[in-house]
């Protein structure tokens, strides 16, 4: 299965899926299962503190919950999962915690990639990669290369990522093209910006989940979440289970996505009555 951007500006096509291709955002209003799920995994530190354990123990437990989430997506046929693992701002945490998180990322990359590959998961990273140590960057590149051909689940890990950084790097890239004469300033529109943000090759997330009780977006996918359905839970990330994810799915399935249109415009058209002798004549 492959995502491809068709010629028409806001139409997305998904080849190889058993579900109908996305023809436009309103057309997916009736979708019951999100195709793209984005998650802020919050509450690791509090989970550990409540147990009087160091925060790093919470992050380790959080890494196990990542597997719960991936398993769920694979079971449900969710096609893309984007996880916020480390924000641009997280570099400012105490050195000890940042160091422990880096060790955890490296360990997880070394340990999990074979299994992810075996299960058909494509792994990618978004964010300021230059800020990571060489060993981590190498593991990231190797995980991406190794899983490049996989199509069952597109797993994106946002690491050293910030939504503002994402928009700024897109703007910088456009400005460079204008300065070099490759692009006319008049041609810069929301599609041109979107095409240079991270995740440009995926449709926008349908559902955003944040654990840990906070109800904010915290500089996650600012551009991409414009019409995403938001779902929050007080549950701490290490406590994540399939039942909680299912509650989010059920809630999502009951929502009407209007994308700025009216309810009538996005409601599925009533199915035609079967032709009877009277109506067919």
Task: Determine contact, residues 170/196, Cβ cutoff 8 Å.
Answer: yes
Are the C-beta atoms of residues 221 and 82 closer than 8 Å to each other? yes
The rounded distance, in Å, linking the Cα atoms of 100 and 202 is 31
Q: Does 205 bind ligand FPP (CB under 6 A)?
A: no
End-to-end alpha-carbon separation of the chain, Å?
44
Question: What is the token pair recorded at 48?
Answer: 């550990």
User: Residue 206 gets which letter from DSSP?
Assistant: S
Among 66, 121, 140, 153, the residue binding ligand FPP under the rule CB under 6 A is: 66
Shortest Cβ distance from residue 136 to ligand FPP (Å)?
11
Residue of 125, 105, 108, 34 whose CA lies nearest to 72: 34
Q: Which listed range, 44-52, 72-80, 129-137, 176-184, lies at the site for ligand FPP (CB under 6 A)?
A: 44-52
- Distance, C-alpha 189 to centroid of its chain: 23
**Dist. CA 156–CA 21, nearest whole Å:** 22
Helix axes 95-118, 55-76, angle to 10 degrees: 30
Catalytic residue among 44, 67, 75, 90: 90
Smallest gap from residue 189 Cβ to ligand FPP (A): 34
Catalytic residue at 150?
A: no
Angle at 257 between CA 255 and CA 263, to 5 degrees: 95
Size of the site for ligand FPP (CB under 6 A): 20
Whether 117 is a known active-site residue: answer no
CB of 81 to ligand FPP, least distance (A): 11
Q: Pull the structure tokens for residue 236.
A: 């701490």
Does 42 help bind ligand FPP (rule: CB under 6 A)? Answer: yes
Closest separation between CB of residue 41 and ligand FPP, Å?
4
Q: Smallest distance, Å, CB 65 to ligand FPP? A: 7
Is residue 212 at the binding interface for ligand FPP, with CB under 6 A as the rule?
yes
Q: Which residue has the tokens 């990571």?
A: 132
Residues 142-171 that bind ligand FPP (CB under 6 A): 157
- The interface region with ligand FPP, picked from 15-23, 40-48, 136-144, 193-201 by CB under 6 A, is 40-48
Catalytic residue IDs: 42, 90
> Which residues make up the interface to ligand FPP (CB under 6 A)?
41-46, 59, 62-63, 66, 83, 85-86, 90, 104-105, 108, 157, 212, 237
């Amino acid at each position: 299965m492959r995502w491809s951007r068709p010629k028409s500006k806001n139409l997305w096509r998904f080849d190889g899926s058993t579900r109908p291709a996305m023809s436009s955002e309103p057309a997916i209003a009736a979708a019951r299962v999100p195709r793209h799920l984005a998650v802020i995994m919050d509450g690791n530190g509090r989970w550990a503190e409540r147990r009087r354990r160091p925060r790093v123990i919470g992050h380790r437990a959080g890494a196990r919950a990542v597997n719960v989430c991936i398993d769920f997506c694979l079971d449900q046929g969710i096609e893309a999962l984007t996880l916020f693992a480390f924000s641009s701002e997280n570099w400012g945490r105490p050195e000890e915690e940042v160091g422990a998180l880096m060790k955890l990322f490296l360990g997880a990359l070394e340990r999990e990639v074979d299994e992810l590959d075996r299960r058909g998961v494509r792994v990618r990273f978004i964010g300021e990669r230059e800020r990571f140590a060489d060993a981590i960057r190498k593991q990231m590149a190797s995980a991406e290369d190794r899983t490049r051909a996989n199509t069952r689940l597109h797993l994106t890990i946002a690491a050293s990522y910030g939504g503002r950084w994402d928009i700024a790097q897109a703007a910088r890239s456009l400005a460079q093209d204008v300065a070099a004469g490759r692009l006319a300033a008049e041609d810069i529109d929301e599609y041109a910006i979107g095409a240079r943000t991270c995740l440009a090759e995926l449709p926008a997330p349908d559902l955003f989940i944040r654990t840990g009780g906070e109800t904010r977006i915290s500089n996650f996918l600012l551009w991409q979440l414009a019409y995403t359905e938001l779902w929050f839970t007080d549950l701490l990330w290490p406590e994540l289970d399939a039942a909680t994810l299912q509650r989010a799915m059920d809630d999502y399935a009951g929502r009407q996505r209007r994308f700025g249109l009216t309810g009538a415009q996005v409601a599925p058209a009533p199915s035609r009555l079967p032709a009877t002798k009277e109506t067919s004549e």
